A and B are shown apart, each in its own frame.
Chain A
Amino acid sequence: MRKKRFKLAASLMAFTLISGMLYGCSSSGSGDSADGGDKGADSKTVTLTVLNNWNGSSGSDSESNPVLKAIEEKTGIKVKIDYTKGSEAEKVNTIFATQDLPDIYTGPAWGGELDGIIKAAKEGQLVDLTDKIDQYPNLAKAIAKENVPPALYEKAIGGIDGKKYMMYQNQPATDKDVNDWLYGFYVRKDIADKIGVDPQSVKTKDDFYNFLKKIKDANLSENGAPVIPLGGFHDGWAVGIGNTMFYGADYQDKGDGTLEHVFFTKAYEDYTLYYRKLISEGLLDPDAFTQTDPIANEKIKQGRIAVLSAHYPAILDASKEYVKAHPGSDYVPVGPLERAGAEPNRPVDLNIQGNNVTVITKKAKNVDAALKLLDFLASDEGFMLVHYGIQGTQWDMVDGKPTAKQEWFDKFTADTTGKAKKNEGISIGLENMTGMDRINSVGGGDIWADQDRLKAMDNARKILRPNGISVISAFNPGDVITKSPQWETLKPSMDQINDVWKQAIFAKSDDAALKVINDLREQIKNTGYDDAMKYVNEELKGKEVVKLSMPN
Chain B
Amino acid sequence: MSSSTLWKRIWKHKLFYLFMLPGIIWFFLFSYVPLYGIQVAFRDYTFVGGFTGSPWAGLKYFKQFFDYYQSTDIIRNTIIISLMKLIIGFPMPIILAILLNEIRNLKFKKTVQTLSYLPYFISWIVVVTLMQRLFATYGGPVNDLLSSMGVEPIQFLYNTSWFYEVIIGSDVWKNIGWNSIIYMAAIAGIDQQLYEAAKIDGAGRFRLIWHVTLPGIRNVAVILFILATGSLMSAGFEQLLLLNGPSTAAIGSVLDVHVITQGIQQGRLSYAAAVGLFQSLIALVLIVTVNRIARKVSDVSLF
The interface of chain A, by Cβ under 8 A from chain B, is 18, 22, 87, 89-90, 92-94, 96-97, 99, 112, 115-116, 119-120, 123-125, 224-226, 228, 286-287, 289-291, 295, 302, 304, 489, 491-492, 495, 499, 502-503, 505-506, 508, 516, 519-520, 522-523, 526
Q: Are A94 and B246 in contact (CB under 8 A)?
A: no
Known: A93-B269, A120-B47. 15 other contacts (CB 8 A): A90-B264, A96-B47, A119-B47, A124-B48, A125-B48, A286-B158, A286-B247, A290-B158, A295-B132, A302-B139, A489-B64, A503-B249, A520-B69, A523-B68, A526-B69
B137 interface contact, C-beta 8 A: yes
Please pick, from A90, A119, A499, the residue contacting B246 in the complex, using a CB distance under 8 A.
A499
Q: Are A290 and B268 in contact (CB under 8 A)?
A: no
Q: Which of A290, A492, A502 has the most chain B CB within a 10 Å cutoff?
A: A290
Query: When chains A and B are docked, how far (Å) is the Cα of A492 from the Cα of B155?
Result: 32
* Given A97-B269, A295-B132: A226 and B264 interface contact (C-beta under 8 Å): no
| A520: B residues at CB distance < 8 A | 69
| A508: B residues at CB distance < 8 A | 160
| B265: A residues at CB distance < 8 A | 87, 89-90, 93, 112
* Given A286-B158, A290-B158, A492-B268: A225 and B138 interface contact (C-beta under 8 Å): yes
| A115: B residues at CB distance < 8 A | 267
Instruction: Mark contacts of B243-268 with chain A using CB atoms, 8 A cut-off: 1 yes-contact digit, 0 otherwise.
Output: 00111011000000000001011111
* Chain B residue with Cβ nearest A495: B266
- 23 contacting pairs across A/B (C-beta < 8 A): A93-B265, A96-B47, A97-B47, A112-B265, A112-B266, A116-B267, A119-B47, A119-B267, A125-B47, A125-B48, A228-B138, A286-B137, A287-B136, A287-B158, A290-B158, A291-B132, A492-B262, A492-B266, A492-B268, A506-B247, A516-B250, A519-B69, A523-B69
B25 interface contact, C-beta 8 A: yes
> Least Cβ distance of A253 to chain B in Å?
28
> Least Cβ distance of A266 to chain B in Å?
22
Query: When chains A and B are docked, how far (Å) is the Cα of A92 from the Cα of B269?
Result: 13
| A491: B residues at CB distance < 8 A | 266
Interface size on B, residues (CB 8 A): 32
B114 interface contact, C-beta 8 A: no
* Given A489-B64, A520-B69: A304 and B138 interface contact (C-beta under 8 Å): yes
* Chain B residue with Cβ nearest A522: B69
* Given A124-B48, A286-B155, A520-B69: A92 and B25 interface contact (C-beta under 8 Å): no
Query: When chains A and B are docked, how far (Å) is the Cα of A228 from the Cα of B138?
Result: 10
Query: When chains A and B are docked, how far (Å) is the Cα of A286 from the Cα of B155?
Result: 9
B201 interface contact, C-beta 8 A: no
- The A/B interface has a contact count, at CB < 8 Å, of 88
Q: Which of B115-166 contact A (CB under 8 A)?
A: 132, 136-139, 155, 157-158, 160
| A119: B residues at CB distance < 8 A | 47, 267
Instruction: Mark contacts of B65-96 with chain A using CB atoms, 8 A cut-off: 1 yes-contact digit, 0 otherwise.
Output: 00111100000000000000000000000000
Q: Lowest 7 CB-CB distances: which A-B pairs, in order?
A: A502-B246, A506-B247, A93-B267, A523-B69, A290-B245, A123-B47, A225-B138
Q: Are A18 and B25 in contact (CB under 8 A)?
A: yes
Q: Which of B64, B70, B137, B139 has the most chain A CB within a 10 Å cutoff?
A: B139
| B282: A residues at CB distance < 8 A | none
Please pick, from B245, B247, B264, the residue contacting A94 in the complex, using a CB distance under 8 A.
B264
Q: Are A22 and B29 in contact (CB under 8 A)?
A: yes
Q: Which of B216-266 contact A (CB under 8 A)?
A: 245-247, 249-250, 262, 264-266
| B267: A residues at CB distance < 8 A | 89, 92-93, 112, 115-116, 119
Query: When chains A and B are docked, how far (Å) is the Cα of A226 from the Cα of B153?
Result: 11
> Least Cβ distance of A379 to chain B in Å?
33
> Least Cβ distance of A258 to chain B in Å?
26
* Given A226-B138, A523-B68: A499 and B48 interface contact (C-beta under 8 Å): no
B46 interface contact, C-beta 8 A: yes
> Least Cβ distance of A394 to chain B in Å?
38
| B67: A residues at CB distance < 8 A | 526
Q: Are A289 and B269 in contact (CB under 8 A)?
A: no
Q: Are B139 and A225 in contact (CB under 8 A)?
A: yes
* Chain B residue with Cβ nearest A227: B138
| B269: A residues at CB distance < 8 A | 93, 97
| A97: B residues at CB distance < 8 A | 47, 269
Query: When chains A and B are docked, how far (Å) is the Cα of A228 from the Cα of B70?
Result: 34
| A125: B residues at CB distance < 8 A | 47-48
| B160: A residues at CB distance < 8 A | 508
Query: When chains A and B are docked, how far (Å) is the Cα of A223 from the Cα of B136?
Result: 15
* Chain B residue with Cβ nearest A96: B47
